[in-house]
Chain A
Amino acid sequence: MSLPSFDRYRSLLTMYFWPQRRQVTLLLLLIIGDNLLLLVGPKVLSQFVDAAVAGAAASVLVWLSVWYLIAAISQQAMTMSATYVGEKTGWQAANALRSDIAKHTLDLDMSFHKKQTPGIMIERIDGDVASLNRFFSQMVLQIGGSILLLTSTVSVLLWTEWRLGILLLGYALLAMWILFALRGVAVPFWEAGREASAQLFGFLEERLAGLEDIRGLGARSYVLRRLNLLMDEKNKYDTLGRVYGSLTWMIPMVLSSLLTVMILAVGVWLYLRNEITIGLIVMTMFYGDMIMRPIRTISSEIDQLQQATAGIVRIAELLAVKSRLIDGVHEMAGVIPPVSFQNVTFAYQDDEEGLAEAPVLRDVSFHIPAGKVVGLLGRTGSGKSTLIRLLFRLYDVSSGSIKIGDYAIPEYTLASLRTHVGLVTQDVQLFYATVRDNLTFFNPAIRDEQLLEALHTLGLDRWFAQQPDGLDTLLAANGATSAGEAQLIALARVYLKQPQVIILDEASARIDPETEKMVERALDTVLANKTTIIIAHRLQTVRRCDYIAILANGSLVEFGAESALRADSTTRYAQLLQHGAEQELA
């Protein structure tokens, strides 16, 4: 049984309930009221029976009926209000937790994200938190309320007729003991079930996103066979979890049949000795039936708690993942900075072992003066993309340092680093959101005029004119936007951001020569007086560079002024130009 300690529950409770303490207090009062009112009904009923048996006046009986009605209906109102307030509290707490998880994970570095599929993140942020929602909104207070009901029922009875009270108490203790003994019996299955569920829906998300590839590959049957396997896995654990989990409520429920007969037997015996009335027997029987409710609540809450526990474990794990990056303190100044790489070496870490893999960058050093443009060349796998990731601090260097302006990049705050450095990647992700949100990345501070101006500057007028609702058009993630247009949108994003350092990662790759000319002109504006790194393989692009850096197998094999390298026919660059000129610019 892997139950987390109660400390962990407590810290979650205080963290997410404290901000809503008034609402929680209200909820607490409602639950107390609800449970105490439950005691009134049987009490009134027993008086009614005794009064009727004794032949009391009609007015007494009418009053008792009215009292019964009032108590029962106000109890209903209390139950309803408690549910509403509980849900409200729970959703607020759960959404706060969702925000915190999103915030936390969005700040984590790529060594975390490369292991997650979006489907798994859905399961964590939505699925796990949903089971926690129950925990927030109902569990603790319901359990508290139920214990209150249990103790008050037993106390009332003990005070009225101690022998019947003892009977009820004995039953309650036995039932509680069973519940306690079965605590956690289903947790391993719930956990495995949730994991299987995350796998299943992660699988589905990936395949749906890659529908075109699957069709093109004729891999349909294969995908469906895999789906069947994953569903079987999930069903297996769901079944086991349910069967074991149900023991906690089944056993006490069945025991209640035995309780009824014992109350009846003891009750009759006491009645025959003239020690109690029939009304009291009736009341005790209803109390006996009624304490089933809190016991059932407690057991079903424990059932839920088991599910929530599985969720808490995983969420706690998620929140405990520390970013390998420690945020800096400096804000980047508003001037165009130089960028320099000093003896940069980097190896990806194997997470389980903490071991470093073979280095992908070795001792790379070069310097880009402020406002200059460097062309970064090299075969795929030579370390270009890694170098760029390092510049953004998606990872930290293993040794050496990267400086922008006066400080090494870890000394800047990540926020300021990523605000002042802009990137156009080879893969452009569009959101299922409006054109506006896709351009601004959900930043509401950017005005529409700025957007229109950017679209115009980057030659997206024609594309924009086709959008039926203008900036409010919903862009489908894989709809009518061509890859080339997506690249232009990516340029527009950077254009809007106005960073001081810009990185173009093979950005012009998918653009035809015609559009490229347009983009080239746009780039003249965007890049003017910015420190720039271009990962280029087209010779036109290289021509705008002031410096050229060539990487091979993770090492810098050539660096120098573009003109100087071009002039010297022995350099790799000159050979590449020669090589490429034959092929590219025939």
Chain B
Amino acid sequence: MTTPMQLMRKMVRQGGWWYVLNLVAIVIELLVELLPGILVRQVLNALQVGQQQAIPWMLLGTFVGIALVRFVMYWIATYTNIKMRIPTMNAMRFSLLSRLLQLPAVTALKGSPGEIVSRLRDDIGELPQVVVQINDIIALALFAVISFVMMYGIAPQATLAIALPLVMIVVGARFAYDKIYFYRTERRRATGRVIGFIAETYGSVQAVQVAGAEKHVLRHFEALNKVREHATLREVLYDGVLGASFHSSLTIGIAIMMLMVNQSARVGGFGAGDVAFFVYNLGIISELLFEIGVFIGRQQQLKVSIQRLQHVGHGQPVSEMFSLAEPPTATAMPPLTTVSVRGLGVQWANGSFGVQDIDLDLAPGRLVVVTGPVGSGKTTLLRAFLGMFPDISGSIQWNGIDIPDPAERFVPPSVAYTSQVPRLFSDTLRENITQGRPSVTTHIGNAVHGAVMEFDVAQFENGVDTLVGSRGVRLSGGQVQRAAFARMLYETPQVWCIDDVSSALDIVTEQTLWSRFSDIRATVACLIVTHRPSVMQMADEIIILEHGRIAARGSYSELRAQGFLQTDK
């Protein structure tokens, strides 16, 4: 696993010159803050011994300069602060999404989409904060070293006495690491569940409403919120105790100083100005302690975030999640003569098989239907062919050449696929169909026609440029399926993989769809999951699956003759 240290180094490099500039600005600003303490000390000490002529009045004029420098440095620090965080956030979000888009699609998501969004949002959003803090700590530490040297020069014993409790608390805080880590994990987990639940609830709000389940869903939501609240409060309390201990150590330091001064003041070596100087500097050093306390907490939180992000990325080390390289675009397959699938199998994590020993052959114009009872592995077969699972056995050959990575190669413009429950995105119908491919009006027209959507599109206010709502809610189930079908037809590929597309269509539309389909499929190989007799009749071969294996295969009439595919009661 990536250590927080490695990750921080990575983020610093990502910040580049913005990071350097930020550090410079903060250091300058803090060093300038040394000046008021020094001046005040001189003035007060001079007063105490009655030497007001020694007061450096001219120097006091520099306060105006100090104010100006601080203003400029603050401004630079603020601006660079966000600028240096942006590259990290962008790179991580980009590369993580890119990775999810390269993993086998079916098993890519570990958790609900909403939960993963929460990690992309919060974990990645907070990671770079720690780098900002490194600069604060460096600058404060520099300040602390300089002022301790100066204080030591004034009163060595008192300075050592002050430093002692500070060092002790910083060292002692190490023991708090595990607890911080634990509370942080708990809180994050609780947050993820809340967010995942919001996403799911509003993703299926219609189902919730018609089920009349609003009240129960709300109660579940409240329960998840309660868990999160407790987790958060525990963390807050723990952090609070830690913070208070840091601050108190400083207070104790000052009190010790007062006691020591009690002795040295009698000697006359420790003046009023020195007291002011000590307290002023210690006030700023207390910020260092505070920042260190927060930093320690952040380190632990960083570990939690690293783990959470690594989980989402299927174990990819977080330090490698900075690649802005675009994933390879698929090169078009050579013109198809044959696709042969031999011994295709998918094994689940628990050892059982989704499908196994599947042999099938495709060729231009050839139509193969896969059918079988619910849960027999039809969709799994199709997804395995497309490389959407991690553990696929067997071989797939295109024109006799092995294709080890069908997920990378079997995409448009070579292979197009419609899933069983297709999703549209909140975009125009045109963008949903083209998905970034060049938009050619005649091709879109053909695709819409092929999907029997021309009447629907004619009724849309803006035709194919009509916005289809969230997840295509505004479209009926049949319309979504046909839009997805059009998306698949767009710019006719060499192979079509269709998973039960017509399930939500009425008889007439469905017949029109398949009859148009048979007109355009002459040069395309088709692999179709369906129960429709009308489609089966078009098939060159039908494969009947049972428990993931091929139970029978043959033409429609052959299989009927063997007693399969009897639909009557």
Contacts and interface: CB of A to CB of B under 8 A. Distances in A.
Do A and B interact with each other, yes or no? yes
A419 B504 contact: no
Interface in A436-463: 437, 440-444, 462-463
Contact of A239 (B75, B83, B426): B83
A268 interface: yes
Interface in B193-248: 194-222, 225-226, 229, 232-233, 236-237, 240-241, 243-244, 247-248
B75 A250 contact: yes
Contact of B504 (A83, A215, A506, A583): A506
Contact of B374 (A49, A482, A493, A509): A482
A323 to B, nearest CB: 11
Q: Which of A223, A231, A429 has the most CB of B within 10 A?
A: A429
Interface stretch (A158-166, A175-183, A257-265, A313-321): A257-265
B47 A358 contact: no
Contacts of A65: 255, 258-259, 262
Given A52-B262, A125-B198, A381-B478, A106 B208 contact: yes
A576 B511 CA distance: 12
Nearest to B216: A442
A268 B43 contact: yes
Contacts of A225: 436
Contacts of A216: 105, 386, 411, 416-419, 497
B356 interface: no
Nearest to A392: B210
Interface string B84-113: 001001100110011011100110110111
A92 B230 CA distance: 10
A84 interface: yes
Given A80-B240, A91-B229, A285 B40 contact: yes
Interface string A249-275: 011011101101100110010011000
A222 interface: yes
B423 interface: yes
Contacts of A206: 423, 425-426, 470-471
B326 A224 contact: yes
B317 interface: no
A103 B241 contact: no
Contacts of B503: 426, 506, 509-510
A573 to B, nearest CB: 12
B82 A204 contact: no
Interface string A75-117: 0110110011001100110010011001101110010011111
Interface string B315-332: 000000000001101100
B388 A268 contact: no
B40 A264 contact: yes
Mostly, the B contact residues are: helix
Interface in A368-387: 377-382, 385
Given A83-B240, A482-B375, A76 B248 contact: yes
Contacts of B93: 204, 227, 231
A208 B531 contact: no
Given A121-B202, A392-B209, A88 B233 contact: yes
Contact of A282 (B66, B208, B251, B272): B272
A418 B533 contact: no
Mostly, the A contact residues are: helix
B388 A122 contact: no
A95 B218 CA distance: 12
A222 B476 CA distance: 26
Nearest to A348: B474
Contacts of B213: 441-443
B106 A478 contact: yes
Interface in B32-62: 36, 39-40, 43-44, 47-48, 52, 55, 60
Contact of A580 (B118, B279, B420, B507): B507
B52 A429 contact: no
Given A257-B63, A264-B60, A509-B504, A394 B36 contact: no
A217 B225 CA distance: 38
Q: Which of A105, A213, A264, A513 has the most CB of B within 10 A?
A: A213
B97 A513 contact: no
A215 B43 contact: no
Contact of B74 (A125, A246, A512): A246
Given A211-B108, A224-B98, A537-B510, A285 B218 contact: no
B520 interface: no
Given A220-B327, A358-B459, A418 B111 contact: no
Given A107-B214, A265-B60, A224 B97 contact: yes
Interface string A422-438: 01011111011100010
B411 A218 contact: yes
A64 interface: yes
A221 interface: yes
Given A278-B48, A380-B504, A480 B348 contact: yes
B114 interface: yes
B67 interface: yes
B113 A254 contact: no
Contacts of A381: 455-456, 459, 476, 478-479
B64 interface: yes
A483 B529 CA distance: 12
Contacts of A493: 211
Given A106-B208, A209-B203, A217-B487, A84 B482 contact: no
A289 interface: yes
Contacts of A84: 233, 236-237, 240
A231 B324 CA distance: 13
Contact of A215 (B199, B411, B471): B411
Given A76-B247, A215-B105, A442-B217, A380 B476 contact: yes
A239 B43 CA distance: 42
A380 B222 contact: no
B358 interface: no
A470 B412 CA distance: 41
B121 interface: yes
Contact of B419 (A55, A213, A394, A576): A213
A77 B470 contact: no
B539 to A, nearest CB: 13
Interface in B514-535: 531-534
Given A122-B195, A512-B373, A45 B222 contact: no
B198 A254 contact: no
Interface string B483-511: 01001000000000100100111111111
Contact of A261 (B44, B63, B232): B63
Contact of A80 (B71, B120, B241, B275): B241
Contacts of B100: 208, 211
Given A115-B470, A204-B120, A68 B203 contact: no
B152 interface: no
A68 B279 CA distance: 12
A565 B213 CA distance: 39
Contacts of B67: 254-255, 257-258
B291 to A, nearest CB: 16
A126 B195 contact: yes
B374 A98 contact: no
10 contacts: A64-B258, A201-B120, A206-B425, A216-B386, A218-B330, A235-B89, A415-B212, A426-B504, A513-B567, A584-B534
List of 9 A-B pairs having minimum Cβ-Cβ separation, nearest first: A222-B436, A218-B411, A380-B478, A429-B204, A484-B374, A418-B212, A216-B417, A441-B213, A219-B435
Given A214-B101, A377-B506, A515-B373, 16 more contacts: A49-B275, A68-B258, A121-B202, A201-B120, A208-B100, A208-B109, A220-B98, A227-B94, A235-B90, A258-B63, A264-B40, A279-B272, A379-B506, A385-B477, A428-B207, A510-B500
